[in-house]
Amino acid sequence: MIITYQHINLLLFLIWSITMFNNVPVIDSADEILDRCFKKASKKVIADRDAFYRKKKTVIARTESFGTTLSGILESYVKTFPSIDNLPMFYQELIRIKINTDTLKHSLGAVHWAQQTSQQILAAQLKQLKRMRQIDPLLAKQKEIYGRISSIVKQVDSHLKILSDARSMFKTFPDILDVPTIVIAGYPNVGKSSLLKRLSKAKPMIAQYPFTTKEISVGHLSRKKGFHLQTFQLLDTPGLLDRPMEKRNTIEQLAIAALEHLAEIIIFLFDPTETCGYMLTDQKQLLVQMKELFVHATFILVENKHDITSSSTDFFKISCKTGEGIEELKDHLFTLYPHDTAKDTSLLE
Ligand SMILES: Nc1nc2c(ncn2[C@@H]2O[C@H](COP(=O)(O)OP(=O)(O)OP(=O)(O)O)[C@@H](O)[C@H]2O)c(=O)[nH]1
Ligand SMILES: [Mg+2]
């Protein structure tokens, strides 16, 4: 296989999008963080021939280790978290739908505050610790520093949990490439995932009940043209019902986010057999809504399950079961690549 410039570009973008969310370390609870810091601090022993100085230097070293380790841990959480406002709009929308952007920003702010505050306490209190000349006050001061910093970290425990949940949520986000994107949309159970499987190497879940797909699945469809590799990104979406936007549940909102922020081409899939469980008139009504919402996308209207029905519409006709019409659909898609080329309007509406 010849490695082209496009291959390298795709790979770099993929690495960027993967590292964007995967840099965040495992986020521990307040107790786990404190445990780690205490354990690390307790290993510090400073040698000195004088018993008092041995004790004093050890207390200082342990306190310093405790504070700096803790501050480092909290800082690593905040610094590696993707900056929400700089993320591509699609990911910002996923965060809004699945986590709640304000909650996440608030929690990041709280953990940042804990890091800064514990650092300030440590800096101020270490100075006092270093001036002490007796063991008992030295130990009491150390205990006070541990107590104050621990209470700061415990105060943000619920925020650490929110960051930890967000980190797990990021892992479910699809890896989106910056290439021409086709979104497959339509009513539930019409065969959207079956089409993604036909068009790409993706292995989405397919089942005979509605709302099988609950996340966005990604596949790729590539074709060589001369020395160029033309790659479409294909997104399979959860099924949509014909209903007002404000009534849409979070799963439907994911489909809307993909359509709104990523779709250059929308394959709107119908099931004229109605074996999906929904009437064709309702499916057509959904199309009307989609066209009003996504005016900049090119719609390709496709009827699936043609192995069990025949109709006289001029829509594309396919069967994901037998493969009928799939090659023709692929050929048509590549006539739309790149998306500013002339479009074959006879197959579009
Ligand atoms: N006869 C026939 N059945 C099909 C065809 N395509 C898909 N199916 C069946 O239709 C059912 C739904 O297929 P899916 O691909 O899961 O449909 P979907 O639109 O992704 O469904 P949701 O994710 O629930 O919205 C499954 O039982 C498929 O086997 C087809 O061309 N012909
Ligand atoms: Mg599906």
pLDDT digits (tens, 9 = 90+) for 282-311: 999 999 999 999 999 999 999 999 999 877
pLDDT given for residue 339 in this prediction: 43
Say if residue 9 is in the same domain as residue 71.
yes
In this structure, is residue 18 part of a structural domain?
A: yes
Sheet arrangement for strand 228-236: 217-225, 228-236, 181-186, 265-270, 298-303, 316-317
The finding on whether 317 has its CB within 6 A of some atom of ligand 1 is: no
Cα separation, 163 vs 103, whole angstroms: 10
Distances (CA, A) of 206 to 201, 244, 267, 312: 14, 27, 18, 28
Say if residue 93 is in the same domain as residue 187.
no
Q: Give residue-wise pLDDT tens across range 82-125.
A: 999 999 999 999 999 999 999 999 999 999 999 999 999 999 99
Q: Which residues of 327-338 are buried (b: 16+ CB within 10 A; e: fewer)?
A: eebeebbeebbe
What is the number of domains present in the chain?
Answer: 2
Task: Give the end of a domain, one of 170, 191, 216.
Answer: 170
Q: Which domain holds residue 127?
A: 5-170
Amino acid, single-letter form, for residue 9:
N
% of the chain exceeding 70 in pLDDT: 91
CATH number, domain containing residue 62: 1.20.120.1190
**Ligand 1 midpoint to CA 348 (Å):** 23
The finding on whether 185 has its CB within 6 A of some atom of ligand 1 is: no
The finding on whether 211 has its CB within 6 A of some atom of ligand 1 is: yes
φ, ψ at 264 (rounded to 5°): -95, -35
Q: Give residue-wise pLDDT tens across range 51-60.
A: 999 999 999 9
Of residues 173, 169, 151, 150, the one with CA closest to residue 161: 169
**Ligand 2 midpoint to CA 238 (Å):** 6
Hey, which of 320, 322, 329 would you mutate to test ligand 1's pocket, going by the most ligand atoms within 8 Å of its Cβ? 320
Nearest CA owner, ligand 1 atom 25: 188
Ligand 1 atom at shortest distance from the alpha carbon of 190:
19
Residue with tokens 């306490």: 121
Nearest CA owner, ligand 1 atom 3: 305
Nearest CA owner, ligand 1 atom 7: 191
pLDDT given for residue 348 in this prediction: 32
State the Cα torsion 140-141-144-145 to the nearest 10°.
-140
Higher-pLDDT residue of 314 and 283 is 283
Distances (CA, A) of 71 to 158, 160, 264: 18, 14, 45
pLDDT given for residue 347 in this prediction: 32
User: In sequence order, which ranges of 182-317 are alpha helices (DSSP H)?
Assistant: 192-199, 250-261, 280-293
Q: How confident is the model at residue 23 (pLDDT cuts 50, 70, 90)?
A: confident
* Residue 201: Cβ within 10 Å count: 9
Ligand 1 atom at shortest distance from the alpha carbon of 308:
1
Task: Give the end of a domain, one of 126, 151, 170.
Answer: 170
Say if residue 303 is in the same domain as residue 195.
yes
State the Cα torsion 283-288-293-294 to the nearest 10°.
80
In the DSSP assignment, the letter for residue 238 is -
Structure tokens at 71: 């501050």
In this structure, is residue 176 part of a structural domain?
A: no
Task: Give the end of a domain, one of 130, 145, 170.
Answer: 170
The finding on whether 141 has its CB within 6 A of some atom of ligand 1 is: no
Say if residue 276 is in the same domain as residue 202.
yes
Least confident of 3-7, 164-168, 217-221, 235-239: 3-7
Cα separation, 249 vs 82, whole angstroms: 26
